[in-house]
Each structure stands twice: as C-alpha cells, then as structure tokens.
C-alpha cells in the first residue's frame, strides 16, 4: 500500500474507533468515573497496571478496587491508616496479589504526601527536547521501587525499557493522561509531556496489524519495536503519532472477532 493510501486508511480507522462509544468496554471507563485530577491519575495508573487479560474482567476487578477505596482514591490514599489496608488482602487479579496491592498503597501514599500530581514522577526525567518517554519510564520505575521494602515480585507489574519491555500498560496510561482531542476519550490533563513524545502501547493486536501493514520491520517485539512503530507513525502525524493506537487496536479487535466466527 502506498504511503498516502496507508495514511488515509489509518485516518479512516481513527475516525471509526476514536469516539466515546469506545469507552464503555475499555479500562479507561474506570478513571472516567472521576473529575478530580488526582482521582483520575490514581485510578488510571492502577487500572493500567492491571490491564492484562479480558477487558470485562479488568473492568470488574478495577471497580472492585475502587470500591475498596470508597470510590475516592485520592482521599483514601492520602488519609488511610495501615489498619485500613486489611480489606485489600483478598484483592487479586491474575498474578497481582496482596503483596503487590499493599506496596502500591504504601508507595502512592508516600508519594502524594510530597507531591501534588503523579505527572511529576514521569515528567521530571524529561524536557521539551527529549525525543520520547523512554527516560520517563526508566526514571519512574526506579522511583516506584525506591522504598527500602519494595518486594522483588512486584517489579514485574511496572515495566521498564531497560528490560526491553514494550511497556504497553505504562504507555497506555501516559496516552490517557497526555493526549487531548475533541473526541472525548483521552483526558489530556498532563501538560509537561507532549503527545509527540509518547510511544504507542504495543499489544498483540497492534503488533499484528502493524506488521500486516508493513509498519514494523523488527522481528522481535520489544521496546525498540514500539519505538520503531511510533517513529513510522510520525510520518503520518508527527505531533500526535499515538492517535493511531485507536486504528491499529480497533482493526486488531475486529480481525480477532472475525476469526472467532464459524
């Protein structure tokens, strides 16, 4: 497919999938329950970290988690006492267990006693001239596990490019927080990171469709693959390449659904 035709095809797919009807069945529906910046950040971050498996299950578990925080995540994180954490001991999602939950609670509480927004935990590692969010993700992971009692097992839930991970869930969270358009899906509440610096959340659906369209040449799927795809998409939209996440993910879901039909 020629460059111009491919751009047109992807832009049409963006128009098809980047709208509010997308929200209901997606994990982003959880932070959409809130209007306060910190509530959106906390719920969005935690839900993104839980986002593997079926989306229905993710949403159900995320709603359970919000209920445990009295549907006021920022107020709970800031004001809860250690005894309030007991009710989280039975919260589990796949390999995310009570050890991970308790550490997330501890880190978030300590962080928000000193900072107003989770944005700074990422943006402090970047400036306006930083090519992409790689340094932000590395720096955030280091910061997140800087507490002396950080459990080793929890590291697998917060990815980093240093381990060659695609960092799909963190990149998805950053997309939610940073991107802004008139479609009403992403929040756009963070201003210290630019949409042009985002890296596409590379999951199996996006990877498969991108390869079928010739947008990825790298054989393996790792951090460099996500960067390669993002740089390729910048040829179509330099200032907002991750807008094509909607197109590639949506086309991937349609293809998967078609495969299931007899």
Which tokens go with 223?
Answer: 């951090």
CB 241 within 8 A of CB 11: no
Q: Label residues 157-179 b or e (16+ Cβ within 10 Å = b).
A: bbbbbeeebbbbbbbbbbbbbbb
| pTM for this prediction | 0.95
Q: What pLDDT tens digit does each residue of the chain (262 aa) get?
A: 788 899 999 999 999 999 998 888 899 999 999 999 999 999 999 999 999 888 999 999 999 999 999 999 999 999 999 999 999 999 999 999 999 999 999 999 999 999 999 999 999 999 999 999 999 999 999 999 999 999 999 999 999 999 999 999 999 999 999 999 999 999 999 999 999 999 999 999 999 999 999 999 999 999 999 999 999 999 999 999 999 999 999 998 876 555 555 5
Count up the domains in the chain and report the number: 1
Q: Which domain holds residue 85?
A: 3-260
């Amino acid at each position: 497919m020629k460059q111009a035709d491919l751009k047109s095809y992807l832009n049409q797919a963006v128009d098809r999938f980047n709208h509010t009807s997308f929200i209901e069945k997606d994990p982003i529906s959880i932070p959409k329950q809130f209007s306060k910046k910190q509530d959106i950040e906390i719920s969005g971050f935690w839900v993104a970290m839980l986002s593997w498996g079926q989306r229905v299950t993710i949403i159900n578990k995320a709603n359970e988690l919000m209920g445990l925080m009295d549907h006021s995540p920022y107020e709970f994180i800031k004001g809860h006492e250690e005894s309030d954490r007991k009710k989280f001991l039975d919260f589990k999602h796949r390999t995310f267990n009570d050890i991970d939950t308790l550490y997330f609670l501890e880190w978030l509480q300590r962080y928000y006693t000193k900072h107003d927004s989770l944005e700074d935990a990422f943006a402090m590692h970047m400036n306006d001239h930083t090519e992409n969010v790689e340094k932000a993700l590395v720096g955030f992971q280091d910061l997140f596990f800087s507490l002396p009692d950080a459990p080793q097992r929890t590291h697998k839930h917060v990815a980093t490019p240093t381990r060659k991970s695609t960092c799909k869930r963190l990149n998805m969270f950053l997309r939610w927080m940073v991107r802004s358009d008139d479609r009403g899906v992403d929040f756009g509440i963070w201003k210290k990171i630019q949409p042009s610096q985002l890296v596409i959340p590379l999951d199996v659906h996006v990877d498969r469709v991108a390869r079928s369209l010739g947008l990825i040449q790298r054989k393996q799927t790792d951090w460099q693959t996500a960067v390669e795809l993002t740089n390729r998409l910048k040829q179509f939209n330099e200032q907002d390449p991750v807008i094509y996440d909607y197109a590639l993910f949506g086309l991937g879901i349609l293809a998967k659904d078609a495969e299931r039909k007899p």
